[in-house]
Structure 1
Amino acid sequence: MEFHFLGTGAGVPAKKRNVSALALRFLEQKRGVWLFDCGEATQHQFLHSALSIPAISTIFISHLHGDHVYGLPGLLSSRSFQGGKTPLTLYGPKGIKAYIEHSLAATNTALKYPFTIVELAGSCQFEHEDCAITVFSLQHPVQSFGFRIEEQAKPGKLDVEALKEKGVSPGPLYAAIKKGEHVQLENGEWLDGSLYVEEPIKGRTVVICGDTAPVEEVSVQAKEADVLVHEATFASDHQAHAGDFGHSTIQDVAKLATSAHVKHLVLTHISSRYAQNETFYLHEAKTAFPSVIVAEDMLVLNLSKKGELTTHD
């Protein structure tokens, strides 16, 4: 699973940080690319990545502030122009449907692929592309959501050597045994398949949050998550400022991540006020949480099946 940070700035584009956009690419499954938020010029950021716009299968919009949605009309149009034919589903807060439809209608843009918009009224759960998605409410001047993505557990490894010792050779029975079913051998003996399968392989859990002041619900949803991606617009030098505008500081997020026993924390949505003194911001982040990464534009992180997070060269 790869995290492509296409935009990591806050509010307006900056020289080194574009506005919000994060792409999630699944490497082992046949899922498409999932895009979380789509600020202005997100499609331009795609040009500098290993991703393609037609590969996007799902878009999640956290909230209706311009720095998270102004890139949508152009990206949707380009997906069509670039030959995208596969279905695209967009999840977002109430109002996203009107915004997109009016933008496309005003520019006489017709999409050439099936496009579904699902407006989210509040917290909810649903299955999407073999993942359990939990949408939960955050605290911001406008309705804002976080998303918990949980992969389904996979069947454990089959103990082939033990089966061979029982005289069971590779064949049709293996499929039933791997499901833990009772099977009858040629000699009439019954075999309990569950005794020959290792423990199920736990799926990875990722939590991605939109703009928010610190809320306890993040700790609840991110409990023992492999990765928490959370905004940290400000360092502790602007604690009051963060509270006034519904944002979080590094220390706010570190406390939530610690409470949730998160394995890896990634900070994004960083104010341009730190562009001239990123050392200050980075130092505070590194001392706030054991396993933390401050995202920057075009950073690619790889989350292994074992939950190890590494930088992709």
Structure 2
Amino acid sequence: MQITFLGTSSGVPTRGRNVSSVGLRLDMRAEVWLFDCGEGTQHQLLRSDLKISQITRIFITHTHGDHIFGLMGLLATYGLAGSPTQIDIYGPPGLQEYLRACQKYSHTHLSYPLRVHVVEPGIVYEDGEYIVSCEPLKHRVTAFGYRIAEKDRAGRFNVEQAAALGIPSGPIYGKLKRGENVTLADGRLIKGSDLCAPPEAGRKVVYCTDTVYCDNAVTLAQEADVLIHEATFSHQDAQLAFERLHSTSTMAAQVALGAGVKHLIMTHFSPRYAPGNALMLEDLLKEARAIFPNTELAYDFMTYAVPRRLDRSLVTS
């Protein structure tokens, strides 16, 4: 699982930061899942290592413009990129009506199936490898945070040990790989668990924006490997955060600490903290690290490879 930040500014783009969008590239699958799609996202995709043609699912947190104004343009472009397949979009009530209006008044015809799913708290998507769930956040409009959980994987099957025990290859190996017990023709009982390494715990990524501090964010982020959380304001501007229902750096850190996450990446920064101002993003980082040390600031085109549970080394660029 590799995370790519396509936009890390709040409200409006700046010269160095576009508005909100995050891409998640899935292991062993030619798929990209997109989280939010602010204006200019398709331009950011073209400048990244992600391919528009590989996007299969888009998850929208809420319908503010800096999170959806790039969606219709991206969908139109997707239809021209190779052989388009179905795209599934997940988001709050009103998203489908917004897309229909965009198509109607721009006279846009999509050459592929588009399915829009109105999300409710709980599981919104599941397949053999991943579960995506959501919880409502606390913002000025209906907003959801998303949790992407990779399912646990069976431990490696020890083929060499099986061969040394004289176990014939074929369907028996398949049963043993699944952890089943097998009685061989000579009467020996072989336990699959004895030939398999411990299961590999699935990784968990959580995306929370826009929101002021809330208990649902802590619930959603429980034991996550990576929490991506908005930090629009400095702790010194907490009053603004409460008025506009956004988070400060310290709120993001408190969510990470309360949820027991392993790594916090802050994003969605107000342009007021540009270099040269009284407060800068490095100040927000210091505030957050005072509460949750394993914190870093996202920047456009930053990538983060989520480490497997058996390999806790961090990979960033």
Q: Report TM bin, short chain.
A: over 0.9
**What letter is aligned with 1:237?**
Q
1:90 is the counterpart of 2:93 = no
* SS of residue matched to 2:98: helix
Q: Which runs of 5+ in 1 are unaligned?
A: none
Cα distance per residue 1:13-69 (max 9 Å; x no partner): 11111110000001x232510000000111111111011111100000000100000
CA distance in 2, matches of 1:94, 1:267: 27
CA distance in 1, matches of 2:281, 2:92: 33
Question: What is residue 122 of structure 2 aligned with on the other side?
Answer: 124
Cα distance per residue 1:252-307 (max 9 Å; x no partner): 11111111111000000000000123332333334332211100111111112235
Question: What is residue 64 of structure 2 aligned with on the other side?
Answer: 65
* SS of residue matched to 1:17: coil
CA distance in 2, matches of 1:153, 1:29: 15
TM-score when scaled to structure 2? 0.93
Question: What is residue 22 of structure 2 aligned with on the other side?
Answer: 22
* SS of residue matched to 2:79: helix
Match of 1:298 among 286, 298, 301: 301
Shift of the 99–258 alpha-carbon distance from structure 1 to 2, 3 Å rule, reads: same
Shift of the 198–49 alpha-carbon distance from structure 1 to 2, 3 Å rule, reads: same
Q: What percent identity do the matched residue pairs reach?
A: 40
Q: 1:105: Cα distance to partner?
A: 1.5
1:206 is the counterpart of 2:209 = no
CA distance in 1, matches of 2:207, 2:126: 16
Question: What is residue 171 of structure 2 aligned with on the other side?
Answer: 172
Cα distance per residue 1:80-104 (max 9 Å; x no partner): 1223422110001000001011101
Range with bigger deviation, 97-106 or 182-191:
182-191
Matched ranges for 1:5-20 at <5 A:
5-20=5-20
Question: What is residue 156 of structure 2 aligned with on the other side?
Answer: 157
Question: What is residue 311 of structure 1 aligned with on the other side?
Answer: 316
Runs of 4+ in 1 over 6 A off after TM superposition: none
CA distance in 2, matches of 1:311, 1:75: 27
* SS of residue matched to 1:24: strand
Shift of the 148–177 alpha-carbon distance from structure 1 to 2, 3 Å rule, reads: same
CA distance in 2, matches of 1:279, 1:219: 24
**What letter is aligned with 2:214?**
V
Question: What is residue 221 of structure 1 aligned with on the other side?
Answer: 220
Q: 1:169: Cα distance to partner?
A: 4.7
Q: 1:170: Cα distance to partner?
A: 4.0
Shift of the 279–191 alpha-carbon distance from structure 1 to 2, 3 Å rule, reads: closer
**What letter is aligned with 1:125?**
I
CA distance in 1, matches of 2:308, 2:236: 37
CA distance in 1, matches of 2:296, 2:171: 47
CA distance in 2, matches of 1:127, 1:143: 19
Match of 1:278 among 249, 260, 281: 281
CA distance in 2, matches of 1:189, 1:82: 57
1:184 is the counterpart of 2:180 = no
TM-score when scaled to structure 1? 0.94
Shift of the 142–84 alpha-carbon distance from structure 1 to 2, 3 Å rule, reads: farther
CA distance in 1, matches of 2:38, 2:220: 25
CA distance in 1, matches of 2:281, 2:12: 17
CA distance in 2, matches of 1:208, 1:308: 21
C-alpha RMSD of the superposition: 1.6
Q: 1:210: Cα distance to partner?
A: 2.0
CA distance in 1, matches of 2:136, 2:123: 12
Q: 1:143: Cα distance to partner?
A: 0.3
- Does the 8 A contact of 1:282 with 1:294 survive in 2? yes
- Does the 8 A contact of 1:84 with 1:112 survive in 2? no
Matched ranges for 1:136-147 at <5 A:
136-147=135-146
* SS of residue matched to 2:89: strand
- Does the 8 A contact of 1:31 with 1:57 survive in 2? no
Cα distance per residue 1:198-251 (max 9 Å; x no partner): 221111011111200101121122111100000000111101100000001111
**What letter is aligned with 1:311?**
T
Question: What is residue 33 of structure 2 aligned with on the other side?
Answer: 34
CA distance in 2, matches of 1:227, 1:84: 33
Q: 1:113: Cα distance to partner?
A: 1.4
